[in-house]
């Protein structure tokens, strides 16, 4: 059964990865212009420090981005609780969009001081884009940000 599911999933992998990359770029551009967002980290953005290298080396910039919220780090939980179309999880690979702060996902075993030394702000959110309609994801982000 596992082999069957793997083979079945491989048939649509290219379509899913393409959709995730397109949506991630559109969401990164949307977030970069939002007044409640401090900074967006995505190599597809011209403002990203590694954009030129990524542009030369990649066909797509991927489906994962991160962004930091303006204001107190307490805004992270308030923001995440308002998301309706996103699953809060540590994984970064799914057909559904996933989100979470590094302090409770990828860097849960590091202290706040260690994260600061690594350049990971406490108000950072990792966002792995799924294959949902990008307009629905934008509306979800907008609604969650409006509540801050």
pLDDT in tens, 38-60: 999 999 999 999 999 999 999 89
Specify the pLDDT at position 143: 97
d(CA 55, CA 43): 8
Report the Cα 74 to chain-centroid distance in Å. Answer: 19
Positions in the chain whose pLDDT score sits under 70: 92-93
- Ordered by start, the domain boundaries in the chain are 2-146
Please report, in angstroms and rounded to a whole number, the separation of the first and last CA atoms in the chain: 45
In this structure, are residues 90 and 106 in contact, taking their beta carbons and an 8 Å threshold? yes
The pLDDT value given to residue 114? 93
Q: What is the pLDDT of residue 135?
A: 98
Q: Residue 7's pLDDT is what?
A: 93
Is domain 2-146 classified as CATH 3.90.1150.10?
yes
Token representation of residue 27 = 């969401």
Pairing state between β 98-100 and 87-88: parallel
pTM recorded for the entire structure: 0.91
pLDDT of residue 69: 97
Which two three-digit tokens encode residue 87? 């699953």
The pLDDT value given to residue 92: 63
Read off the DSSP letter of residue 45.
S
| Rounded Cα gap, residues 49 and 37, in angstroms | 18
User: Looking at residue 104, what is its pLDDT?
Assistant: 83
């Amino acid at each position: 059964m596992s082999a069957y599911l793997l083979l079945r999933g491989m048939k649509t992998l290219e379509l899913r990865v393409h959709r995730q990359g397109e949506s991630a770029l559109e969401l990164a551009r949307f977030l970069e212009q939002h007044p409640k967002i401090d900074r967006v980290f995505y190599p597809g953005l011209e403002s990203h420090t590694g954009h030129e290298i990524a542009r030369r080396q990649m066909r797509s910039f991927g489906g994962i981005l991160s962004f930091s919220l303006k204001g107190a780090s307490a805004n992270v939980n308030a923001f995440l609780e308002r998301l309706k179309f996103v699953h809060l999880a540590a994984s970064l690979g799914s057909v559904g969009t996933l989100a979470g702060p590094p302090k409770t996902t990828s860097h849960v075993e590091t202290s706040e001081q260690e994260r600061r030394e690594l350049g990971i702000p406490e108000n950072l959110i990792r966002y792995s884009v799924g294959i949902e309609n990008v307009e629905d994801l934008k509306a979800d982000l907008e609604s969650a940000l409006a509540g801050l």
